[in-house]
Amino acid sequence: MTAVPDIEFRGVTKRYGAVTAVTGIDLSVPPSAFVALLGPSGCGKTTCLRMIGGFEQPSEGQVFIRGQDMAGTPPYRRPVNMVFQQYALFPHLDVEDNVAYGLCQARPRLASREIARRAGEALEMVRLAGYGRRKIHELSGGQQQRVALARALVNKPAVLLLDEPLAALDKKLRTDMQIELQNLQREIGITFVLVTHDQEEALSMSDFVCVMNGGRIVQLGQPSEIYDEPADLFVADFVGKTNLLSGTVAGHSGDLVEVVLADGTVIAARKRTALQKGEAVSVSLRPESLSLGAPESAPFKGIVRNRIFLGSTAEYAIEVQGIGTLLAKADHVIGHGNLFKPGEPVAIGFAKGTPLAFPETKNNGTNQRVTNHVEIIS
């Protein structure tokens, strides 16, 4: 006998006219979990969140909140609250009245002293005590975000829904808020459902990540599982940075497959599904799994084209004849002088079994044959 899940989707499909937004979603969120719905725009993650909030009704299937079928229950009767994208704070109310809005809707009415007390507590929780009489437009983006949080938490919902809550914040503030949200979730112990297209945000904050693509759930797991054992090519490419190399299955050796790459190199790779000999595959190699300056036996030799120094690590874009550009990431040890320079030839190796082979699928939408996200992070 397991605990009743806080949120449960059973065979949920949502159509808008001829367009199907999500298809056959089955999802069960255990109590007190921090779950991220992750996916590119248009993958249906926001639709799922809105079906929990009650702003959309499923075309098929059911949504349960704490075991209650929510069919036909309007948003104002659901025990969930949402932090909206760009916050949707009421511009005509000050900070305290925004936070107290939910309390003022309670029937029978709460005493005004009780409302003021609880609104004050909520503001204190998000470290905005003393800001109660400020106007919304007088607050910074980060402060508005915290008002939105306080407003959503003041009614003590069973589940807090967060729709891209950090998208409007700058990078530094976003990192702070990630930690703050994580702490807040542990402190109050209710389930958080976060919608984001930012894989870093999903991996760093949540207990479970639900990766969505094309209206379906592609993989559900802990962040490390999603990153280390992606279910398919889409997840491997979308979550984290990776090198995708095209090749053909040449044979099997034990649990591994041997893949012939475009330049004739044969590498051994793990697989997630059965692969036929001669099948076209994409092999995913994480940048940090590549070791540079390895001995002569290294499978690839290339020339460093770009170096992106990040402090604790350095990323290299390395051109390999016949393969393309590979992204590699190496730890930087102070004083070790282990940085390669652009133009320098370098051998690239990797531990046996680190590559992951996936069948080439035709409808991978966002995938290119060889994807290298060389992204400069300041």
Partner 1 sequence: MHGNRFRHNFLTALLLAPATAWLVVFLVLPFIAIAVFSVGERAPEGGYQAAFTLAQYANLPARATAFWNTMLLAPVGALACLLVAYPVAYYLALRAPQRWRLILLALVVIPFWTSLLMRTYAWMYILGGRGIPALLALVGIEDVRLINTPGAVLLGIVYGYLPLMILPIYVSLERLDRRLLEASADLGATPLSTFLGVTLKLSLPGVMTGFSLVMILLLGEYLIPTLLGGGKVFFIGNALVDLFLQSRNWPFGSAIAITLVAVSVVVLIAANRISTRVSGARRVDLI
**In the bound complex, what is the minimum distance in angstroms from residue 81's beta carbon to partner 1?**
6
**In the bound complex, what is the minimum distance in angstroms from residue 115's beta carbon to partner 1?**
13
Does 75 bind partner 1 (CB under 8 A)? Our answer is yes
Does 27 bind partner 1 (CB under 8 A)? Our answer is no
56: tokens are 């959309």
Radius of gyration of the chain (CA): 24
Contact pick of 32, 59, 68, 85 for partner 1 (by CB under 8 A)? 85
**Single-letter code of the amino acid located at 237:** D
Does 151 bind partner 1 (CB under 8 A)? Our answer is yes
149: tokens are 């949080």
Does 110 bind partner 1 (CB under 8 A)? Our answer is no
**Residue 257, strand partner residues:** 252, 269
Residue ranges of alpha helices (H) inside the chain are 45-53, 95-104, 112-125, 141-153, 171-188, 199-205, 223-228, 233-238
**In the bound complex, what is the minimum distance in angstroms from residue 257's beta carbon to partner 1?**
49
158: tokens are 């069973």
Span interacting with partner 1, options 84-92, 185-193, 278-286, 353-361, rule CB under 8 A: 84-92
Does 14 bind partner 1 (CB under 8 A)? Our answer is no
Does 337 bind partner 1 (CB under 8 A)? Our answer is no
Does 216 bind partner 1 (CB under 8 A)? Our answer is no
- Secondary structure in 3-state letters for 217-251: EEEEECHHHHHHCCCCHHHHHHCCCCEEEEEEEEE
Contact pick of 10, 13, 32, 84 for partner 1 (by CB under 8 A)? 84
Does 74 bind partner 1 (CB under 8 A)? Our answer is yes
**Single-letter code of the amino acid located at 167:** A
* Residue 94: DSSP 8-state: B
**In the bound complex, what is the minimum distance in angstroms from residue 77's beta carbon to partner 1?**
8
Does 341 bind partner 1 (CB under 8 A)? Our answer is no
Interatomic CA distance for residues 314 and 308, integer angstroms: 6
Does 93 bind partner 1 (CB under 8 A)? Our answer is yes
Per DSSP, the three-state class of 199 is helix
Does 202 bind partner 1 (CB under 8 A)? Our answer is no
User: Sheet holding 60-65: strands in order across?
Assistant: 19-29, 7-16, 60-65, 68-69
- Number of residues near partner 1 (by CB under 8 A): 27
Q: Which is nearer to partner 1, 56 or 201 (CB)?
A: 56
Q: Which is nearer to partner 1, 161 or 323 (CB)?
A: 161
Report the chain's terminal Cα–Cα distance, integer Å.
Answer: 49
**In the bound complex, what is the minimum distance in angstroms from residue 71's beta carbon to partner 1?**
17
Interatomic CA distance for residues 13 and 371, integer angstroms: 32
Q: Which is nearer to partner 1, 89 or 193 (CB)?
A: 89
Does 90 bind partner 1 (CB under 8 A)? Our answer is yes
Q: Which residues bind partner 1 (CB under 8 A)?
A: 53-55, 74-77, 80-82, 84-86, 88-93, 101-102, 105-106, 135, 151-152, 155
